[in-house]
Each structure stands twice: as C-alpha cells, then as structure tokens.
Amino acid sequence: MSSRTFNVLFLCTGNSARSIMAESILRLQGMGRFEVYSAGSRPAGEVHPYAIELLQRNHYPVENLRSKSWNEFAAADAPRMDFVLTVCDNAKAEACPVWPGQPISSHWGIPDPVTVQGDEASQSKAFADAFLVLNRRISLFNNLSFDKLSGLSLNTELNRIGQA
C-alpha cells in the first residue's frame, strides 16, 4: 500500500450536510491516508445540526467542520487535490473551478437531506440514509489499491463507487 497521503475534496452546493459528513467519515476511516476537505458552490454558512448530531452519535470527528466556499480550494495557495468528488446533483451540473493539478473527479450523487420536509423523524431518516450511503461509498474508496491503479482505472473505480 502506498505511504503517500492523498488530498480529497468533497463538494456539494451548501456544504452543510453531505459533503461535511463525507469529510468526517473519510477523515476517520482513512486513518491518516488522506487529507480531507469539503466545500460548497454556495455555502450555507453553517453545518446543519442534524449532520453534527449524527456524526457525534456515530463517533465521527466534528472538530473544525465548517461550511465554506469551494473558492478556498481553487486559490493558487490551496492544497493540490488528488480527488474531487461531488456528492450532489447541483454541484455536478455547475461549472466548477479549475482545480490545480487536474485531480481525478467523480460524481457520487446523494439526495439532499436538508431539503426533506416533514416531521423530525422524516428529517432524521433522510440524514441517516445519506450517512449510510456515504459511509458505504467511502469504505469502498478507502479500500482501493491506489498504488496499483492508473489514473484511468481509478476514475473508472470512482465512477463505479458512485453508482453503489
């Protein structure tokens, strides 16, 4: 297994739930293999309380999680990304910044739990469903043999994971 640390950026529109949960999940599961970031095209300005509560309940780190713009990661002095993964359909359709270093990109669309209307149980279930899908996909991603796959093969695997 490669001893290299990979930079991963999860993107969505608001950066308040899905991309935030993905950041936390990979940070823990990756056990130092990854520097993990998240951002949004139109950040909400705060992390959704259900996302924080769900992460805490499942013993995932919540320190330093914040809603932020993807512009932070398109700047010249930003960390160079190896992977950029969109987790919502809105971000997939938007014109993304040009990421320095031409990272491998893939779309892992997940319904936005923030938009779910209804009682607290319905909203909590939407967050839990998004968390479970992210957890599964990130587990698959984390188990890839990065040192044995070429860029094209990695992209194919990331796209396959996005369909899981």
Which of the residues are catalytic?
12, 88, 96
Burial of 63 (0-12, 13-18, 19+ CB in 10 A): exposed
Beta bridge partners of 105: 84
Strand order in the sheet with 104-107: 34-40, 6-12, 83-86, 104-107
Residue with tokens 């499942």: 58
